[in-house]
Copies of this chain bind each other. A is one copy, B any other.
Amino acid sequence: MSNRLEPTSRNYDEKLQRILKASGKIFAEKGFHRTSVRDISRATKMSLAGLYYYFTTKEELLYLIQERCFVTLLLGWERAATADMDVRTRIRVFAENHLSFFCHNMHEMKVMAHEDESLTGEFQVKILVLKRRYVKVIMDLIRELQDREGRKGIDLRVVTFSLFGMMNWIYTWYHPDGPTTPDALAERFAHIFLTGIAAPSPTTAPQGD
């Protein structure tokens, strides 16, 4: 029985992934509200009836895309971070995980940015819970770094979202096929975020500017 179920379930998952991928692309290009399930049917070459086997509303589809992003990011992070890493390394690994996922899922990144307010009710609440859990990971790391180095001056929320800003804005300008690989990009952002673009300070003179 389980032998018969498994391939079916794998087939289900693969097909759902394909639908999510195609929908993410269309949502990114046309916007969620202007996309119809008929557009998705055309792009996936699946019938409307076939599609509705995988989701019940267009909003559920948007929810599933966002859920998949956060779950993949969280699982990726848990796999990549190990207890022996120091906190700076863990921050860099967090950036690497975030960017390597989104550099390969730029459409989803744009959808996450643009359709932040398109979910309602339970879908909205569930994504908010996942998002908070994900943000908490990096916020805790930044707090740990600040505590360790005795630097509590800068508001944790401002610092955290400055990092997300750097990273998430790439959907407006970055080409994954260009000269800078996702890993190199993560390394550069982590470098800017941790140590800045200016020399540490010429004889420690100018502070904070």
* Residues of A bordering B, CB below 8 Å: 31, 33-34, 88-89, 92, 113-114, 116, 142, 145-146, 149-155, 157-159, 161-162, 164-170, 172-174, 179-180, 185, 187-201, 204-209
Closest to A118 in B: B31
B188/A195 in contact, CB under 8 A? no
- Smallest CB separation, A87 vs chain B (Å): 9
B153-A208 in contact (CB<8A): yes
Interface of A is mostly: helix
Which residues of the partner chain B approach A152 to less than 8 Å between Cβ atoms?
Answer: 209
Residue in B142, B158, B189 whose CB lies within 8 Å of A162:
B189
Q: Is the CB of B169 within 8 A of A190?
A: no
Distance, CA A54 to CA B130, complexed state (A): 45
The chain B residue with its CB closest to the CB of A190 is B209
The 8 Å CB contact of A165, one of B92, B170, B190, is: B170
Measured CB to CB, the closest approach of chain B to A66, in angstroms, equals 14
User: What is the CA–CA distance of A196 and B154 in the complex, to the nearest angstrom?
Assistant: 11
Assembly CA distance A71 to B52 (angstroms) = 48
A154→B195 contact, CB < 8 A: no
Nearest CB of B to A144, in Å: 11
Partner of A209, one of B88, B114, B161, B174: B88
